[in-house]
Amino acid sequence: MEQRHITLGEFIIKRQEDFGYSSGELSRLINSIRLAAKIVSQKVNQAGLVDITGSFGKENIQGEVQQKLDVYANDVFIETLVNRDILCGIGSEENDDFISISGNDKSNTNKYVVLMDPLDGSSNIDVNVSVGTIFSIFRRVTPIGTPVTSEDFLQKGIHQVAAGYVIYGSSTMLVYTTGNGVNGFTLDPALGTFFLSHPNMKITDDGSIYSVNEGNYNQFCDGVKAYLEYCKDDVSKKQYSSRYIGSLVADVHRNMLKGGIYMYPGIKKNPSGKLRLLYECNPFAYIVEQAGGKASDGVNRIMEIEPTDLHQRVPFFCGSKNMVEKAEEFIKASK
């Protein structure tokens, strides 16, 4: 008899020891993210059939033109999380400031805050390229029962209690970690259920893929240029391939499964790069490290960086451990 796949809900119940100090809130929080992801997945799969593609006509705090799906996904995740009364605050890439959530008695006794990029890569939706959601969960540091402050959100990545991403592609997958390994769940659209499809995900120490926007090559620092030449030249003694989708979730997800390095370095006109520390880099750093890989800004461990701003940007290198360390060697030598 064929073994039945375990569902995400069953997996969470089975792994309650992962949430030993949470009294059920963290489990419910993951379940709420699951629900919101299903709603967004259904809308993404309708792109081209309903009026959900294209520009919304406004810019977000980063000065980026918001897509209609950005706004839709942001609204869905915020509404789903707020309605379940499990959070005291939310930070979103699409909002200027964090959202403080009050309980029914106007004093919130919940312990967790979520930081998220509700729809990463949304500009690719018009051309049917995979997009995704990224989330990061922290325990609040301010006293329970008081409104959250920026201090609750500006925490180092090492203090994350969970992080994950959802990729909306040929199938929809939810991948997350609570510090006890990384597991991936694939949505069965007929049943509307996520099933465990990628247990205990691991990234190889060495890989053969490098992912970077080489259109910025002339603006990269000398160390990054040298590393790219190393990847292309026979001196590396390896057969490296360049693979770049331009959708962060899709690029990192592929390298998680295949082995490789994802890079978004700083450039001369923008030394801090493009990616946000709190919404993109910290959660992926936690996931990649839990899978056996490494994440760095080229010099420092991503999860050790002290955040100073809700929308702070940092250079980002993540993936197979040996590839990231080799890139760091070239960057260090160039300095």
Compute, in degrees rounded to 10, the torsion defined by CA atoms 298, 304, 306, 311. 60
319 closest CA partner among 227, 187, 191, 235: 227
Beta bridge partners of 294: 319
Cα separation, 334 vs 234, in Å, equals 21
Q: Which amino acid is at 98?
A: F
Alpha helices in the chain (DSSP H): 8-14, 25-44, 68-83, 150-153, 222-232, 248-258, 282-290, 321-334
DSSP annotation of 84 reads T
- Which residues contribute to the annotated binding site? 93, 117, 119-123, 213, 244, 274, 280
- Which residues contribute to the annotated binding site for Mg(2+)? 93, 117, 119-120, 280
DSSP annotation of 281 reads I
- Which residues contribute to the annotated binding site for substrate? 120-123, 213, 244, 274
Question: Phi first, then psi: what are they for 63, rounded to 5°?
Answer: 85, 15
State whether residue 12 is helix, strand or coil: helix
Contact present, 134 and 117 (Cβ < 8 Å):
yes
Cα separation, 100 vs 273, in Å, equals 29
| DSSP letters spanning 177-194 | ESSS-EEEEEEETTTTEE
Contact present, 160 and 139 (Cβ < 8 Å):
no
The residues, any chain, with a CB within 8 Å of residue 232's CB and separated by 6 or more, are 240
Question: How far does Cα 182 stand from its chain's mean position?
Answer: 13
Query: What interhelical angle do 282-290 and 248-258 show, nearest 10?
Result: 10
